Structure 1
């Protein structure tokens, strides 16, 4: 009998559209050899929608925009450049992509997958920043996985 894995809990911060885009983007990234952590807290206090790492250690941040209003009112995305090698937007299929900045990558997505419409230009991270992000990524991912298996683990954290 196959092992049944626990289901991640919704965090209540995202709209159904944003959750669908997130799921499709995570599938897209996985199919290309990247692993992503949603709602990744950066040392700046900002929260990246998805921080993903490939097999070479290159770090991408995907900023999800579920609507034009979401894009126009959320101006924090340029701050993410300091924490990634590549920055991309991910939007639903009906989003008017021409309003998004051309200096970022672009994915269109639904709950079943995503398509890369524009690759993200590379802007390599300094080695110390990359190391710090990789350690934070590993710790965050391992902590979340452990909490899925035992939700009471957070009671024992310092």
Structure 2
């Protein structure tokens, strides 16, 4: 049910579904470094890491002053927006995904910038710990008070 989700969460859900179909594992709201929280991080079969920021409105995009800080935490960077979003606002040197609550489509793939090996390794471990902790909280809600990734 999409009615209980915020607009950005709806975009993230459709984006994650599409990326899953492409062979990526996704987590939402991952913190790669203090002061940053990405909407969606996707991990590919070969270890490639994509960051996707979901923007539900012009105001949401215009108030995001941290997005360039995410570029050093991924191999590719994308915006996910709905079909009514004015995509002319988005930087053309980034990827573009059009999404809704059920699916998405990659319209433009941004440039690839390979992560340094040490950062990729650390980020992959953080991704795994984040995903495992979230799964544990779903299966054992009381565990959240005990374990912090």
The TM-score, its normalising length taken from structure 1, stands at 0.88
Query: What does residue 74 of structure 1 align with?
Result: 64
Q: Write the distance in 2 (CA, Å) between the matches of 1:110 and 1:97.
A: 15
SS in 2 for 1:79: helix
Aligned mate of 2:134, from 122, 125, 144:
144
CA-based RMSD of the aligned residues comes to: 1.3
Q: Write the distance in 2 (CA, Å) between the matches of 1:118 and 1:99.
A: 14
Cα deviation for residue 104 of structure 1 reads 0.5
Aligned mate of 2:95, from 100, 105, 111:
105
| Number of equivalent positions | 145
CA contact (8 A) 1:28 1:113 kept: yes
5 Å-filtered alignment, 1:14-93, equals 16-93=6-83
Larger Rg: 1
Q: Write the distance in 1 (CA, Å) between the matches of 2:63 and 2:144.
A: 34
SS in 1 for 2:30: strand
CA shift digits 1:114-153 (9 cap, x unpaired) = 0111012100000000000001000110011011000001
Q: Write the distance in 1 (CA, Å) between the matches of 2:130 and 2:7.
A: 25
Structure 1 stretches of 4+ with a deviation exceeding 3 A read: none
Query: What does residue 130 of structure 1 align with?
Result: 120
The TM-score, its normalising length taken from structure 2, stands at 0.93
Q: Write the distance in 1 (CA, Å) between the matches of 2:6 and 2:132.
A: 26
Q: Which runs of 5+ in 1 are unaligned?
A: 1-9
